[in-house]
Amino acid sequence: MGNDNWPEIGEFVVCTVKNVTDFGAYVELEEFGGREGFIHISEIKAGWVKYVRDYVREGQKIVCKVLNVDPSRGHIDLSLKDVNEHQRRAKIQDWKNEQKATKWLQFVAKEIEAETETEPDEGSLQALHEIFVEEFGSAYAAFEEAAVEGEKAFKGLKINNKYLKSIIKIAGENIKLPFVDIAGYVDLTCNLPNGIEVIKQSLNAANSISDIDGEDIKLEVSYTGAPRYRIKVIAPDYKKAESVLKKSAQTAVDTIAKLGGHGIFKRHIESAKA
């Protein structure tokens, strides 16, 4: 993040402890251009704290919660006690992932420089990073999508083709996909005058369970040739993938039956990635 950015109240931030005093600790916010924040002694730990150094030390990496931000005065008030262990670990992992993604973008720049014998425009790389954050939530998430979906992940985005190919290549080399990829088929038929619309409704119903249980699941329904439709599921593990595939297929079969048509599910394992 650039120096014009400020953290938001309630956000978790990675900090490096720079100076510990009797009344608190001054820290540097790693993701915000090294901006300085302050943790008052009352925000170090729940309960009474006699010596701040019993809990933090210079050079230590910690995760804090932002309590208040005052850009006009350059003040950022932080809390260490309001961060539990789960939140700390999750934030540290996200931060490490973004560091990896930043290095991968540098690899992209080096590849393009080697291929074209011209140094990539720094503004273009910064713009690319901003697109990643805006569209995917983080640069690391964009590389994950590149590893899973390839060019499809960036459909509709204005990204130079030479950058795109390098991104996909580097993503494939550096990200091990923790997913399984399975597929099945449903044969759907309806002889009613509105048969095409009935089939569409059935497929839409099948596709509507893709975010079941809030898991990181991708579901894709595609036409392979009358009367067959392919249901593809990418999920964290086989158990979840199988469950979603069956529910999606059964939803299509049940829906078309209620609307006057007929459906059959045919299981097919496409591939697995571990």
- Which of 83-97, 150-164, 201-215 is predicted least confidently? 201-215
Residue 67 confidence (pLDDT): 97
What is the CATH code of the structural domain delimited by 11-82?
2.40.50.140
User: At residue 16, what is the residue type?
Assistant: T
Q: Tell me phi and psi for residue 7, to 5 degrees.
A: -70, 160
pLDDT band at 243 (very low <50, low <70, confident <90, very high): confident
Q: How far apart are alpha carbons 227 and 217 in whole angstroms?
A: 26
Q: Which residue has the higher pLDDT, 215 or 217?
A: 217
What integer is the mean pLDDT of 132-149?
87
- CA–CA–CA angle 172, 174, 178 (5° rounding): 80
Say how many CA atoms lie within 13 Å of 96 toward its Cβ: 9
CA dist 108 → 46, 132, 179 (Å): 45, 14, 25
Q: In which residue ranges of the chain is CATH 2.40.50.140 found?
A: 11-82
Q: In which residue ranges of the chain is CATH 3.30.70.1130 found?
A: 180-266
Burial of 8 (0-12, 13-18, 19+ CB in 10 A): exposed
Q: In which residue ranges of the chain is CATH 1.10.150.190 found?
A: 87-174
Segment of 91-105, 119-133, 219-233 carrying the highest mean pLDDT:
91-105
Domain 87-174: homologous superfamily in CATH: Translation initiation factor 2; subunit 1; domain 2 (1.10.150.190)
Q: How far apart are alpha carbons 10 and 15 in whole angstroms?
A: 15
pLDDT band at 271 (very low <50, low <70, confident <90, very high): very low
- Which residues sit opposite 38 in a β-bridge? 26, 77
Class for domain 180-266, per CATH?
alpha beta
What integer is the mean pLDDT of 206-210?
75
Q: Which residues contact 80 (CB under 8 A, 6 or more apart)?
A: 39, 43, 44, 45, 55, 56, 62, 64
Summary mean pLDDT of the chain: 85
Q: How far apart are alpha carbons 142 and 157 in whole angstroms?
A: 12
Q: What is the pTM of this model?
A: 0.59
